């Protein structure tokens, strides 16, 4: 994503507006990257990487297992689904903490 407006000084550069979403096609050169605008795929050109940042919506889910469980329980509408979800949560919790070996040994 472009963090600032960029007006290229060379003919093969790509003009950007702040917030433009681009796809990086070639990042081999440390001084300029070949990019294509996602909303106008026919427009591509070279851009200094200092004008670009990774999109913020590409983040990993950092919620804990307990947070995911709470959110899933809120969505459940009947007791049978709730029981299945609780069993699944307990199994996941023991497996991830290494307790599964103690239970099944």
| pTM beyond 0.95 | no
Which tens digits make up the pLDDT trace of 6-48? 999 999 999 999 989 999 999 888 899 999 999 999 999 999 9
Which residue's structure tokens are 């004008």?
Answer: 51
Closest Cα to residue 51, out of 98, 90, 9? 9
Reading phi first (left if > 0) and then psi (alpha if -120 to 50, else beta), residue 56 is in alpha
Strands 33-37 and 44-47: antiparallel
Closest Cα to residue 14, out of 34, 40, 39? 34
Which residue's structure tokens are 């949560």?
Answer: 89
For residue 73, what are its two tokens?
Answer: 């329980």
């Amino acid at each position: 994503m472009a963090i600032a407006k960029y007006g290229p000084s060379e003919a093969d550069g790509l003009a950007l507006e702040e917030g433009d979403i681009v796809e990086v096609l070639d990042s081999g050169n440390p001084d300029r990257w070949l990019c294509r605008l996602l909303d106008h795929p026919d427009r591509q050109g070279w851009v200094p990487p200092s004008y670009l940042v990774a999109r913020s919506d590409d983040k990993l889910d950092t919620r804990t297992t307990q947070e995911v469980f709470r959110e899933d329980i809120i969505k459940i509408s009947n007791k049978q689904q709730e029981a299945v979800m609780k069993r699944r949560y307990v199994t996941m919790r023991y497996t991830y903490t290494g307790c599964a070996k103690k239970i099944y040994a």
